[in-house]
Amino acid sequence: MIKLLEGGAYLLDGVSLKPDMTTNIDQLGQPAAPKTPPETDPTTARRSTLAYQILAAHNTSGDMAKLKIKFDQLTSHDITYVGIIQTARASGLREFPLPYVLTNCHNSLAAVGGTINEDDHMFGLSCARKYGGVYVPPHQAVIHQYAREMMAGGGRMILGSDSHTRHGALGTLAMGEGGPELVKQLLGQTYDIDMPEVILCYLSGAPSYGVGPQDVALAIIGAVFENGYVKNKIIEFAGPGLANLSADFRIGIDVMTTETTCLSSIWATDDVIKEYYDIHGRPEDYREMAPGPVAYYDGAICVELDKIEPMIAMPFHPSHVYTIAELNENPADILAEVEQHAAASLDGKLPFSLRDKLRNGTFHVDQGIIAGCAGGGFENICAAADILNGRNIGNDEFSLSIYPASTPIYMELIKNGQAARLLSSGAILKTAFCGPCFGAGDTPAHNAFSIRHSTRNFPSREGSKPGSGQLASVALMDARSIAATAANGGRLTSAADGDIPISQYSYFFDADIYKNRVFDALGRPDPDAALHFGPGIRDWPEMIPLSENVLLKVVSVIHDPVTTTDELIPSGETSSYRSNPHALAEYTLSRKDPAYVGMAKAVRDAEVWRLRHYGIAKSATEATQSPDCHCGRTEHSSVKTQQSPSGCQFDAATSSPPPSFTEAEPALSAIPTHFTDVASFGHEATLTNTAIASTIFAVCPGDGSAREQAASCQRVLGGLANISQAYATKRYRSNLINWGMLPFLIAPGELPFGYGDYIFIPGIREALAKKQAIIRAYVLGDADPTEFELRLGDLTDEERQIILSGCLINHNR
């Protein structure tokens, strides 16, 4: 089904796969062939990959080993664009220097928080008008579908503030990153990375009946996620099997490559993709793209499409894959295995059971969803309608909701009659919305099990709240098998088991839908236009530069093998507060470590008192990282409150320190005794050049979403570092750096520190500036300091300056 090559591989004429000398071709199950590679050496042949060609065309550094990329277009949605534009405004933004599309597909329901969601939308519209951008109103299209229909083009590069920014099937190398990377592009700066490795995904054969793009995608994710085979690399799709896949099928695989932890993806293009551009009225944007005659790859994923079966990714990760057939053949044992995995993900805090969903030996589910950038495509929904034609989903617990990815798709489903078939079956058709993917729509009942053709099934991403005793779970499946399951009233069913014809329907794109509703001011900024600020939109608090030394208190310790961004900052209803840094920060780690916020805020209060007491803050606003002072003065609080107790805890230099500062005093007092080289002037000098901040330890944080708030919320709460054995994605590590946080690495093994410990890092500013590979750190306790080593990994010169400055905003100022 799927095999991974050890070592590199050549692709000849876009068709023949030939492993290099380090790999035996027999592992491919192909006839024996000579083991010597073509005459072209790997260094030269690497330049023939599509990825290299596109990156070279967008690189401004002159050095392909150290890339400085300028993108062609940007795209964001309504839980990211406010923060991005606010950050860029703080750094001097005057107009959008490249096409920037603001879509509204996450806070579309405007259901939580009063006016704040629609206020964000009006802010986005006013920004498109003032700075010269495109504004796509709510319910028109999900972010990635609009980009496919209106933005992608052969050989282009798109940067989006959503992790599933993938348009490789259309010949566009697209990447999803945290907001600060888009800010850099808006300010004329570059996206800086080392030249990534490129992995070939070699496709052969053709999909069998009932197999859809999600099945292929899940099979690939299951093969490469845990072993890190494609982590931070580019996947390039080619091979003879490509011709057997429609455009929609390719898109459905492509968007899910994010879950492999790859950096991006790109596909060879052909007449199938040419027709896609023709259908969408943009023939000029098509470009025939293929690797050179001899292209060299750093590895290869060999996918035999005809051997892929309908798949299911069980809770709580897209890589927890089984075939539906094997789950149905042995449900009790597999469900017990999944329960064990789930117990680890949930820290055993809530009981979790799946075996109670067995009825007479068959597994029954409670809900089906086909939605968003992965499931809401035209072909997926038409296939589901064919399978459900003349059948119904029943009138019991099971429900089925379907969200077309754009209004043009919805319109075509109405015109070709498939919408009527679905509605007749009992399914509900809804508007373009990403809510089911992140917990803002169709949250199932407590203990319910949902099957979804969407992107992720992380813990509680479907909207349940473990802190309130709620727990539901999601498995990922293809729309075809979801429809087959729905037709059986919720009994888990593989689409491969059916015999109902699944037709190929012609798609007709109605461009007038967007012409009549989308606001387009590309290249026509109006500097005199006023921005619309609702009361929920807040500026970022000011961050001060990195101090000479830091004293870190460990306020959370997470031993999970991987920590997702959803666990660092939950999605769902919290998205309504994405425009208010302080309000959103209250949710940080709320599903993983509810005590974190209080602990972090106490440490932050100690630092704010230190800054004020010793006159370090240059202005009153420079210490507004603490919104907890209730004196009513806006310079002391991000939100002016009605409480006005006498006095102000941060007002006078003679005020009493908060308890958290008193608690840190023993550690602070120990510094002059043990580290005379960095505190030679005694205790008072220590307090003027040593910042007090919080840190978390997590084994491997940052899997999943690109949302910058996973890092910025920690920073708002006074965090200054993460300590990890590895970072799950480049996106998360970049977010830490852009918010002025130190992305420390520690070698695997027993930790030298624990929860609540103080870690002193002397001379950190100098070490960072001088590019020291090893950072000396010390656990301060009752005994002598315990020394251990930290590393910062590779950092560009600009990234070092960003951390030294305190954050990207400071650096740009």
Q: What is the pTM of this model?
A: 0.88
Model confidence pLDDT, tens digit, residues 2-40: 999 988 999 999 888 888 754 444 444 454 444 445 557
* Tokens found for residue 456: 């992720």
**What is the rounded distance in angstroms from the CA atom of residue 799 to the CA atom of residue 380?**
42
**What is the rounded distance in angstroms from the CA atom of residue 496 to the CA atom of residue 481?**
8
Model confidence pLDDT, tens digit, residues 725-778: 999 899 899 999 999 999 999 999 989 999 999 999 999 999 999 999 999 999
* Tokens found for residue 781: 């306790």
**Looking at residues 286-315, what average pLDDT do you find?**
96
Model confidence pLDDT, tens digit, residues 424-454: 999 999 999 888 888 888 899 898 999 999 9
Q: Is the pLDDT of residue 642 over 90?
A: no
Q: Is the pLDDT of residue 640 over 70?
A: no
Residue appearing with tokens 């979804």: 452
* Tokens found for residue 160: 């989006």
Q: Is the pLDDT of residue 676 over 60?
A: yes
* Tokens found for residue 343: 């117990």
Model confidence pLDDT, tens digit, residues 163-213: 999 999 999 999 999 899 999 999 999 999 999 999 999 999 999 999 999
Contact 725, 700 (CB under 8 A): yes
**What is the rounded distance in angstroms from the CA atom of residue 82 to the CA atom of residue 252?**
29
At 244, is the pLDDT very low, low, confident or very high (cuts 50, 70, 90)? very high
* Tokens found for residue 370: 């086909």
**What is the rounded distance in angstroms from the CA atom of residue 339 to the CA atom of residue 344?**
9
**What is the rounded distance in angstroms from the CA atom of residue 462 to the CA atom of residue 682?**
53
Give pairs for 626-634: CB < 8 Å, separation 24+.
Answer: 626/601, 626/650, 626/718, 627/541, 627/582, 628/601
E strand intervals along 287-346: 294-297, 299-304, 311-313, 321-323
At 32 the pLDDT is: 42
Q: For the chain, give every domain's residue range.
A: 2-21+40-55+196-206+223-301, 64-193, 311-493, 549-578+585-600+658-812
Model confidence pLDDT, tens digit, residues 345-377: 776 677 888 888 899 889 999 999 999 999 999
At 638 the pLDDT is: 38
CATH 3.40.630.10 correct for 311-493: no
Same fold, 2-21+40-55+196-206+223-301 and 549-578+585-600+658-812: no
Select from 810, 646, 645 the least CA-distant residue to 739.
Answer: 810
At 460 the pLDDT is: 82
At 578 the pLDDT is: 81
**What is the rounded distance in angstroms from the CA atom of residue 138 to the CA atom of residue 432?**
8
At 38 the pLDDT is: 57
**What is the rounded distance in angstroms from the CA atom of residue 787 to the CA atom of residue 779?**
7
Select from 741, 427, 710 the least CA-distant residue to 584.
Answer: 710
Cα-based angle 215, 335, 594 (whole degrees, multiple of 5): 95
Contact 183, 736 (CB under 8 A): no
Select from 219, 212, 200 the least CA-distant residue to 265.
Answer: 200
Fold of the CATH domain 2-21+40-55+196-206+223-301 = Aconitase; Domain 2 (3.40.1060)
Contact 346, 383 (CB under 8 A): no
Model confidence pLDDT, tens digit, residues 94-126: 999 999 999 999 888 877 778 888 999 999 999
**What is the rounded distance in angstroms from the CA atom of residue 788 to the CA atom of residue 603?**
23
* Tokens found for residue 767: 């070490």
The CATH H-level superfamily of 64-193 is Aconitase, domain 3 (3.30.499.10)
CATH 3.20.19.10 correct for 549-578+585-600+658-812: yes
At 291 the pLDDT is: 96
DSSP 528: T
Tell me whether residue 408 is exposed, middle or buried, using C-beta atoms within 10 angstroms of its C-beta: 0 to 12, 13 to 18, 19 or more: buried
* Tokens found for residue 169: 């099937």
Model confidence pLDDT, tens digit, residues 498-554: 889 999 999 999 999 999 999 999 999 999 999 999 888 888 888 899 999 999 999
Which range is most confident: 276-280, 562-566, 793-797?
A: 276-280
Query: Taking all residues of the chain, what is their mean pLDDT, rounded to a whole number?
Result: 89
Q: Is the pLDDT of residue 409 over 80?
A: yes
